[in-house]
Amino acid sequence: MSRNAKPGKRAAAASVRNLNYATSPLLASKTPPWRSRFLVALVGLAFAVLIGRAVYIQIIGTDFYQQQGDKRYGHVIEVPASRGRILDRNGQVLATSVPVPSIWAIPKDFTADVQQRNALARLLSMKPLELDQKLEGSRNFAWLKRQVDEPLWAQVRGLGLKGVHSLSEYRRKYPEGESAAHVVGFTNIEEKGQEGIELAFQGDLQGRHGSRAVLKDRLGRVIEDGSEQVDPVNGRDIQLSIDSKVQFFAYQRVRDAVAEHGAKAGSVVVLDVITGEVLALANYPSYDPGNRRKLSGEQLRNRALTDTFEPGSTMKPLVAAWALETKRVKSDTVINTAPRSLIVGPLVVRDAHPYDSLTVEQVIQKSSNVGAARLAMQMPARELWELFSTVGYGQKPQIDFPGAVTGRLKPHKTWKPVEQATMAYGYGLSASLLQIARAYTCLAREGGDVIPVTLLKHDAPVAGVKVYSPATAHEIRRMLQLAAGPGGTAPLAQTQGYSVGGKSGTAHKQEGKGYASNKYRSWFVGMAPISNPRIVVAVMVDEPSKGKYYGGAVAAPVFSQVVQQTLRLMGVPPDLEVTPQIMASKVSPAEPESF
């Protein structure tokens, strides 16, 4: 310190140098040893907890925390498989899946003013309240409308609403619409088959979905693809035996017949006699499989397969053929039909016209109930039951299609004489239109065998179960040609260029325990060309109400039109001169049918 320093400052410096820290009362107090140890232990414990937590998270509980992370940011996206197509026999598409947008939203991110909300609701065809309810269901995801058209999504996107997004899904398309609806069926919005082929072959058509792992941000946007991916396996295409052109034409003709005669409904079945393939199975009323908003049960019913009815006079050729086969009669054997009636127990079997006698072939040509009943009464009940069972009555059709019915054929041991008589002309048993068409294959085929039918394409000839000899089948075909010609019950079945044969049928409809006096079913089943049949066609019209109700007047014209179009499409050459046939069809009135 300099000599010039003030005395006060020199004294303070000396005091600092002479201070003894050990004599400070605060510092002089002794600290307990446990306190320092406790502090060290706390620090050590904290480090141990942190290390233990790290070990638990990184080693012991790693799976749990990995899952939690995956739930928040990692997602497995389903990669949908494309549903298989349904094709007709020529490769024409009957059902296919196309990608379409589906609109969804993240409710917590959704922002829109009242005007924008109303505009969105209007585009989605819903009320604003309905839109609000959808958005209130969840914070993170809500479907607004699934499987919409691209133009609609473009309009929604044009609103510029935050939180509204789209993703691609598949929607089923049905190019043939109403004409093939009952065959193809339809799927629900998840592409699960609900009816028809869509349901019957669900396992083959649906395929197997794939998947891929991705990372998403909080807005649901994919920011990174993971390494795990399972490729989808697309569904298998199903090719049907149906010819879409024959199907469409058959549908048009039965639709027109229903309208012309004021009927409730109608059906047509077309079978290939060589392969057993169903070339057409049409019903009216029908529906559009792609637009089912107002679908009713009447539209949905596949009547050709699910509706059963008493087959009426279509049974007569089967009974007559068996009488020929068993040598009980010949074609020219005379059957006593006088005096137009036959008493069997409590029943009086009647004919529409009084015939003193008819040959067997005239019984078929004129459709005589008395003649058919007399033929049936010559046979044991068991024998007749076995015949009906063999041709498919009372048996469920072995066809890959849901809803095919068995029909009704009582055990022969329970038959009463009156039942045996009425079954000969089609009362007392029931069958579907498909069963009736199949039964006639044993008359149409050269070998006299009844064949299985299929809705899947099968080009090869098929073997059946023998019912009649070739000679009997040939003889019955000649009788059926007479029934569909001049002097028969159905000359309107004649077709330009092709010879035909078949049998009309008319029956009172059942109501409760009896029959309605003014309600009928009319049908016609036959084959063409009769010289070498290639197809069997069966037509049914339910409850015609405009004066005409005989099968020869209501159903036979539909048969004629369908036969002509089908044989031409199949490339079958005509076997008749056209001009003489047209003249004959104009001048030949139909015989009234007994039923």
Residue positions annotated with a catalytic role: 313
* List of E strands, 255-310: 265-272, 278-284
Residues 559 and 12: their CA atoms lie apart, in Å, by: 135
Helical residues (DSSP H) of 146-201, grouped into ranges = 150-158, 181-184, 196-200
Q: How far is residue 422 from each of residues 62, 78, 350, measured CA to CA in Å? A: 81, 61, 11
Q: How far is residue 272 from each of residues 242, 249, 330, 486, 561, measured CA to CA in Å? A: 10, 16, 30, 27, 17
CB–CB of 244/176 below 8 Å? yes
367 dihedral zone (left: phi>0; alpha: psi -120 to 50; beta):
left
Helical residues (DSSP H) of 171-315, grouped into ranges = 181-184, 196-200, 202-206, 244-260, 297-300, 303-306
Residue 21, token pair as written in the block: 């820290």
- What are the φ and ψ backbone dihedral angles of 307, each rounded to 5 degrees? -90, 130
CB–CB of 258/266 below 8 Å? yes
Q: How far is residue 543 from each of residues 12, 39, 517, 540, measured CA to CA in Å? A: 132, 101, 12, 10
Residues 369 and 316: their CA atoms lie apart, in Å, by: 8
CB–CB of 219/232 below 8 Å? no
- Cβ–Cβ contacts within 10 Å for residue 190, how many? 9
Written in H, E and C, the secondary structure of 122-139 is HHCCCCHHHHHHHHHCCC
- What are the φ and ψ backbone dihedral angles of 333, each rounded to 5 degrees? -65, 135
Residues 548 and 264: their CA atoms lie apart, in Å, by: 14
Residues 291 and 284: their CA atoms lie apart, in Å, by: 17
Residues 434 and 313: their CA atoms lie apart, in Å, by: 16
Q: Which contacts of 359-362 are long-range, i.e. CB under 8 A and separated by 24 or more positions? A: 359/331, 359/332, 359/333, 359/334, 359/335, 360/320, 360/323, 360/324, 360/329, 360/330, 360/331, 360/332, 360/333, 360/335, 360/479, 361/331, 361/332, 361/478, 361/479, 361/482
